[in-house]
Amino acid sequence: MTCDEAGELLDAFIDGELPGEQLLDVARHAGGCAVCDATVRKLSAVRHSLAGSLDAEAASLDLAGVWSAVSSGMAREDARRTSIRRWRAAPAWAAGLAMAAGAMLWLSTPPAHEVQRVAAARPRPNQTVIDRLDSDSARLELRRERKYGTTLIMVSAEGDGQ
């Protein structure tokens, strides 16, 4: 085995990820090669330093509050699941009732299409649009003044004066 061949396998070698035969080949090569042996030692030293430093820092972290924070999150999740379950378990008649109430509400609303149609027509220059009339009994009268080109709109309700 050459140094190049061994070099490609050194990481897997120190990680114990090589199959038996290859593991022995690399071990034999490194045993007789000062350069590869030094690389194995350096890689192992890096590993120990890294693991040691992070383990020590993780060990110094105060994790006492983790469970209480997690259990609060779990309680919220349980509450959410319960409300979803309740909603799904609602009887069919409740859904029917909700639909009927919606339909009633829709039917009891006076049609607004006329008002909308009038309002949708935008006045042209020198024109006006009556947006809505609140009274059903209102009378509308238009009086045109030909001389000046103006129009007078007279609106009156029952019993009212003009």
Binding site for other proteins (CB under 8 A): 11-12, 15, 17, 42-43, 45-47, 49-61, 63, 65-67, 69-71, 73-74, 77
Place of tokens 């890096």: 46
Provide the token pair at 103: 């339909």
> Please, which residue, 41 or 132, has the CB nearer to other proteins?
41
> Please, which residue, 21 or 136, has the CB nearer to other proteins?
21
Among 38, 41, 33, CA closest to 14 = 41
> Please, which residue, 20 or 111, has the CB nearer to other proteins?
20
Cα(103)–Cα(145) distance, rounded to whole angstroms?
49
Smallest gap from Cβ 84 to other proteins, in A, equals: 13
Quick one: three-class SS letters along 70-107?
A: HHHHHHHHHHHHHHHHHHHCCCHHHHHHHHHHHHHHHH
Smallest gap from Cβ 24 to other proteins, in A, equals: 19
> Please, which residue, 70 or 130, has the CB nearer to other proteins?
70
Smallest gap from Cβ 86 to other proteins, in A, equals: 17
